[in-house]
Amino acid sequence: CKVVAAYMESSNQEVKGLASSEVQPLLESGLLKILDKKPEGQS
């Protein structure tokens, strides 16, 4: 979970490129979902 969070928050394009091939199949299969981040206290 922490690895995926680090990938999602990374601004380093090299990191995103390397991890993309691992993360993309999980997103496409529905095993992993990207949730909208909202600041605390807001709904």
Instruction: Specify the pTM.
Output: 0.53
pLDDT of residue 29: 95
pLDDT of residue 30: 92
Convert the pLDDT of each residue in 6-42 to its tens digit: 777 888 888 888 888 888 898 899 998 877 765 566 5
CB 24 within 8 A of CB 31: no
DSSP secondary-structure letter at 11? -
> In terms of pLDDT, which residue wins out, 43 or 34?
34
Q: What angle do CA 12, 18, 24 make, to 5 degrees?
A: 105
> Where are the domains positioned within the chain?
1-32
